[in-house]
Chain A
Amino acid sequence: MTNEPTEPSGATEPTETTGMTEPSETPEMPEAAEPSAAAETLETTDAAEPSEVAETPETADEQEAGARPDAYPRFRLGARIEHFITMTSFTVLAITGLPQMYSLTSPIARGMIEFMGSIQQVRLIHRYAAFALVLGSVYHVFTSVYRLYVKRERPRMMPTVKDLYDAINMLRYNLGLIDEHPKMPKFNFGEKVEYWALVWGTAVMTITGFMLWNPIATTKLLPGSIIPAALAAHGGEALLAVLAIIIWHMYNVHIKVFNPSMFTGWLPRDQMEEEHALELERLEAGGDPWPVVPAPELGRRRRIYFAVSFVVGAVVLAALIWLFTFEETAIEVVPQVTREVFSPLNATPAP
């Protein structure tokens, strides 16, 4: 559920103007035609957004990959950085969190804690990683706003009814009930499930994590039993997330077929064909991977966006730091209560 901070990277398909790729259209073009299509797309993109910082580093990458006839652009560098932040912080959180959860029952968990130093150390690392995850999530919100407002991308991560049909048809196809592989858009139902699971999971983990970290403040407003409930939810959600990553994400992008797009930004044609046939058709029909906004309009929107996001960002960052240093839950060390222990009741008996 973590691997998909992809929404902002996917630009709204300008279906009204460019795409209109219907499944009925001839999908297969001669191999030679593809690179030119891709190259044109890239050129347009580059030309249209020459000054966009987020995409400038991509150019070399895309040109290099563009020489390959059998790959199509999928993730821009910004999206891959977001994925990297999420992947790293999620992994650290899992490695430091699960051993805490199972420390009483599993010797492996204890060994891991010992390996990482001590329980305090593990808790400290967990909290730093939590800060990174939350920071990454906030950053994702900002980039999403940029894509939705400045670039006017269509929110392609939104679930649709077609996703439901895709899922059912995929299942039917897998079981051999139908012969046609469903044709899916840039983000298919499986990826959407993962994305929204990540959103949900991060929200649950952040809120319950905050409660566990700041129980004094939490119980000023909420009943005390919210803390053990938060602990239960934090643990349950963590287990759900880690298992989902292992079963769903690992299978789909590593085991089934290795999907290189999160590292290179490009997806091979065969995988495009299987998993994102609609997107492939749109690109082959000359569609832009990401929408093109005319320069003057782009500049105007970006000025507004950066002005607002600078102010909001500063406030949010300050709020985050405030939240992450919220309370002094407990004193450092329980004070020693020393007392006079020698208080003889009677004299020591005779010899």
Chain B
Amino acid sequence: MLSAKAHHRHIRALLGLTVIAALLLGTLALLQARTRTAAAQTETPEQDPERATQDPADNANCLLCHEDSAEEIVFPDGSTLRVDVDPAALAGSAHGIHAEQELACTSCHSPARYRYPHPPPEGDSVREYELIQAQRCERCHVDPHITSHPGPESDTPVVCTDCHGAHDVATVEAWHEGQPVGNCVDCHVAAGVELNRRPDLQHVIDEGLFAGRIDNDYCLSCHTLPNLSLQLDSGEILPVTIDENRFHASAHGTDNEWRLLQCVDCHEGYSFPHEPVVAETLREYRLQNYTMCAECHEEKYEATLDDVHGDALAEGNENAAVCTDCHGAHYVETPDEPRSRISITCGQCHGTIFEEYRDSVHGEALLEESNPDVATCVDCHGVHSIPDPNLAAFRNSSPQLCGACHADAELMAKYDISTQVFDTYVADFHGTTATLFNAQDPDAPTNTAVCFDCHGVHNIKDPQAPHSGIKENLLENCRQCHPDASENFPDSWTSHYVPSLEHYPLVFLVNWFYRLIIPATIGGMGFFVLTDVYRRVRLRRKGAHGDERAD
């Protein structure tokens, strides 16, 4: 009984286990089946009535006729097309036996259409036929790569098959090895279109067509074409031809310390075909593009935002200089070589001022003698953070600006210019005021004359030269601030002379008077005081009698 009971229990357990196992297996099978279906669905190409998933083995059917035929299709316009296909070329092509998925004839030539007997071919000419057939490439190659060739919408389109061939489509490897380059040459010769940069063709193909990031030669293959330009809405012409040699000689060019700058370093994300230019005017175009410089030269760019040009631009003055106005865009050269380049650069926009400067003592030396020391525009105005010269701070600090050179004894010795000019100015009422303002309240507007009030701003002349105008105009100059000044008044300024018996003897004598009288008086008083101290000390030491008398 006991054993029978145990037997039953075993059978039941076995049954239960079997049911559970079956359920589990069923679920697994179901899941697997589902995954398979899903996989199958994703693998299935989009349903296209013309697209077939034919077995390449079926090619034999087609090749029965097409392998070795001398037949030609005659198009309505009279052009002809041979119908034979080389099976070896087909097999060796990118779509052939080496392909990931070998294509059948019917993969491209849809079986719906290519049943035998074939209907008449599409198109009125071989070319039209080719254009129509080439569209089939895009069924698989949905995102054709960049090219600089005109597309199908053009009157003279260049389509996929023109370069890649039809049945003998070249593999990627073949392109890298340069095999199809002949196609380009042949086609260009046939079309009568000059093939730009022919020696670089292979490079362009490698870099431009297959690289992720296009390189300069790719861009330059078009942009070295002469007289390439765009017309903007304003009617202005934006030239886009680049002088390759000048570019390579530029600061960003081949000798650059960093590396040859790539077009796309600045023209970030550019590819062909380009996005349309949205600027309406040339100026607008430049203002849209100069910020590219900030990518590398951020510090300089930021400095310009707060300077006189940046402020003017922010206020809406489109003429305000931006990076490329001074430095150029593609042909950036070392801005201070030769040194005169600096002032000439500024002169591009500040023409009137430049003309004044050119005739000044500084300008003449710079532009005619290539003097290495005279002030150029930027020595006084600064470079990227140019302050507004109309601000009080500029006026107040200007003597220090001039003094930076004119108080430098070593520098001035070269030109036999006295450095006393600075000291004597600063020691004078005007100079002291300007110095103190600059030190303590630089932004406060002053009524004190600074160097340029008498010597001129950009048209500074050698004061020793005849007709320099400084002495002659002194009274007039004084009267700008001292309207009631008489003819004697200008002499109250010692004209940078240190007073001597020759120049300003009265001042010289007064100075000497006090130089003598102060030590004499104070010395005498001091002596008297010391004798008094001596007596007090002496008498105190003497004792009672001394004390009585002294105190």
* Chain A contact residues, CB within 8 Å of chain B: 100, 103-104, 110, 113-114, 118-119, 170-171, 173-176, 181, 190, 215-216, 219-220, 222-229, 231-233, 235-237, 239-240, 243-244, 247-248, 251-252, 256-257, 270, 327-334, 336, 338, 340-346, 348-351
Tell whether B531 is near chain A: CB-to-CB under 8 Å. yes
Chain B: interface secondary structure? Answer: helix
Query: Shortest distance in angstroms between A248's beta carbon and chain B's nearest beta carbon?
Result: 5
CB neighbors of A among B507-530 (8 A): 507, 510-511, 513-515, 517-518, 521-522, 525-526, 528-529
Nearest residue, chain B, Cβ from A327? B484
Residues of B within 8 A of A173 (CB): 535
For residue A120, give the distance in angstroms from its CB to the closest CB of chain B: 8
Residues of B within 8 A of A220 (CB): 486, 488
A17 to chain B, nearest CB (A): 33
Question: In the complex, what distance in Å separates the CA atom of A119 from the CA atom of B438?
Answer: 11
* Bound CA–CA A171/B534 (angstroms): 11
Cα A237 to Cα B504 in complex, Å, equals 19
The reply to whether A330 and B507 contact each other, CB–CB distance below 8 Å, is: no
Closest beta carbon of chain B to A244's beta carbon, Å:
6
Closest chain B residue to A334, Cβ basis: B447
A240 touching B522, Cβ below 8 Å:
yes
Output the nearest chain A residue to B427 by Cβ-Cβ distance: A104
A88 to B439, CA, bound (A): 30
Decide yes or no: A118 and B446 within 8 Å by CB, A104-B435, A334-B395 being known contacts: no
- Sample of 7 more A-B contacts, CB < 8 Å, known A228-B428, A247-B529, A343-B351: A220-B488, A228-B494, A236-B517, A243-B518, A331-B447, A333-B445, A345-B351
Q: Is B485 an interface residue (CB 8 A)?
A: yes
- Asked if B486 and A232 sit within 8 Å, CB to CB, the answer is no
**B350 near A342: Cβ-Cβ < 8 Å:** yes
Per the 8 Å Cβ criterion, residues 210-269 of B in contact with A are 238-240, 242
Q: Say yes or no: B522 contacts A331, CB within 8 Å.
A: no
Assembled-state Cα–Cα distance A216/B286 (Å): 55
B507 touches A232 (CB 8 A): yes
Cβ–Cβ < 8 Å partners of B286 in chain A: 348
The answer, yes or no, to whether B330 is at the interface (CB within 8 Å) is yes
**Shortest distance between the CB of A223 and any CB in chain B (Å):** 6
Task: Check B440–A351 contact: CB distance below 8 A.
Answer: no
Complex alpha-carbon distance, A66 and B354, angstroms:
86
A15 to chain B, nearest CB (A): 27
Is B328 touching A349 in the complex (CB atoms < 8 A)? yes
- For B517, the chain A residues whose CB sits under 8 A away are 236, 240
Q: How many Cβ-Cβ contacts under 8 Å join chain A to chain B?
A: 186
A117 CB to nearest chain B CB (Å):
9
Q: Is the CB of B511 within 8 A of A244?
A: no
A175–B492 alpha-carbon span in the complex (Å)? 49
Determine how close the nearest CB of chain B comes to the CB of A240; give it in whole angstroms: 5
Q: How far is the CB of A118 from chain B (nearest CB, A)?
A: 5
What distance in Å separates the Cβ of B252 from its nearest Cβ neighbour in chain A? 13
Which residues of B from 421 to 464 have beta carbons under 8 Å from A?
A: 426-429, 432-433, 435-437, 439-441, 444-449, 453
Q: Which residues of B contact A (CB under 8 A)?
A: 238-240, 242, 286, 319, 325, 328-330, 347-354, 390, 395, 426-429, 432-433, 435-437, 439-441, 444-449, 453, 480-486, 488-494, 499, 504, 506-507, 510-511, 513-515, 517-518, 521-522, 525-526, 528-529, 531-532, 534-536, 538, 549, 551
In angstroms, how far is the closest chain A Cβ from the Cβ of B175? Answer: 32
Question: Are B429 and A332 within 8 A (Cβ)?
Answer: no
**Contact B531 A174, beta carbon cutoff 8 Å:** yes
CA distance A171 to B531 in the complex (A): 7
Q: Chain B residues near A231 (CB, 8 Å)?
A: 429, 507
Q: Is the CB of B510 within 8 A of A334?
A: no
Contacts of A228 in B (CB 8 A): 428, 492-494, 499, 504, 507
In the bound complex, do residue B481 and residue A331 qualify as a contact, i.e. CB atoms below 8 Å apart?
A: yes
Q: Are A244 and B525 in contact (CB-based, < 8 A)?
A: yes
Q: Which residues of B contact A113 (CB under 8 A)?
A: 436, 440
B447 touches A216 (CB 8 A): no
Q: Are A119 and B354 in contact (CB under 8 A)?
A: no
CA distance A173 to B350 in the complex (A): 81
Give the residues in chain A near B525, CB-CB below 8 Å: 244, 247-248
CA distance A330 to B514 in the complex (A): 30
Q: Which chain A residue shows the least CB distance to B527?
A: A171
Q: How far is the CA of A176 from the CA of B535 in the complex (A)?
A: 7
A251–B436 CA distance with the chains assembled, in angstroms: 35
Min CB gap A347→B, angstroms: 9
Contact of A236 among B444, B489, B510 (CB under 8 A): B510
A222 touches which of B352, B429, B449, B488 (Cβ 8 Å)? B488
Complexed CA–CA distance, A338 and B439 (Å): 25
Residues of A near B238 (CB, < 8 A) are 351
- Cβ contact within 8 Å between B491 and A223: yes
Question: Is there an interface contact between B353 and A225, defined as CB atoms closer than 8 Å?
Answer: no
Interface pairs (30), CB distance under 8 Å: A103-B436, A104-B432, A110-B439, A113-B440, A114-B440, A118-B441, A118-B444, A119-B436, A119-B437, A170-B528, A174-B534, A215-B489, A216-B489, A219-B491, A223-B491, A224-B489, A225-B491, A227-B492, A228-B428, A232-B510, A239-B514, A243-B518, A247-B526, A256-B536, A333-B445, A334-B445, A334-B446, A338-B390, A341-B353, A351-B242
A residues in contact with B440, CB < 8 Å: 110, 113-114, 118-119
Closest 3 CB pairs of A and B: A224-B491, A236-B514, A227-B492
Contact call B427/A341, Cβ cutoff below 8 A: no
Tell me whether A257 and B551 are in contact (CB under 8 A).
Answer: yes
Q: Are A176 and B518 in contact (CB under 8 A)?
A: no
Contact B531 A175 (CB under 8 A): yes
B426 touches A104 (CB 8 A): yes
Instruction: Look across to chain A and name the residue whose beta carbon is closest to the beta carbon of B499.
Output: A228
- Cβ-closest chain A residue relative to B435: A104
Which of B353, B522, B549 is within 8 Å of A244, CB to CB? B522
A216 to B486, CA, bound (A): 7
Distance A248 CA – B527 CA, assembled complex (angstroms): 10
Kindly state the separation between the CA atoms of A157 and B334 in the bound complex, as whole angstroms.
Answer: 80
Closest to A171 in B: B531
| Contact in complex: A351, B239 (CB < 8 Å) | yes
Chain B's nearest CB lies how many Å from the CB of A78? Answer: 28
Q: Flag if B518 contacts A225 (CB, 8 Å).
A: no
- Are B436 and A219 within 8 A (Cβ)? no
| Interface pair A225/B506, CB less than 8 Å apart | yes
Give min CB distance, A137 to chain B, whole Å: 21
Q: Are B518 and A110 in contact (CB under 8 A)?
A: no
Structural contact, B436 and A329, CB atoms closer than 8 A = no
| B329, B330, B510 — most chain A CB neighbours (10 Å) | B510
Q: In whole angstroms, what is the CA distance A228 to B488 when docked?
A: 13
Q: Judge whether A251 and B529 touch: CB under 8 Å.
A: yes
A237 proximity list for chain B (CB < 8 A): 514
Cα(A331)–Cα(B482), bound, Å: 7
Are A344 and B349 closer than 8 Å at their CB atoms? Answer: yes
A176 vs B511: C-alpha distance in the bound complex, in angstroms?
38
Contacts of B349 in A (CB 8 A): 342-345
User: Are A225 and B504 touching (Cβ within 8 A)?
Assistant: yes
For B437, the chain A residues whose CB sits under 8 A away are 119
Q: Which residues of A contact B429 (CB under 8 A)?
A: 231
Nearest to B530 among chain A residues (CB) is A174
Residues in chain B near residue A229, CB distance under 8 A: 504, 506-507, 510
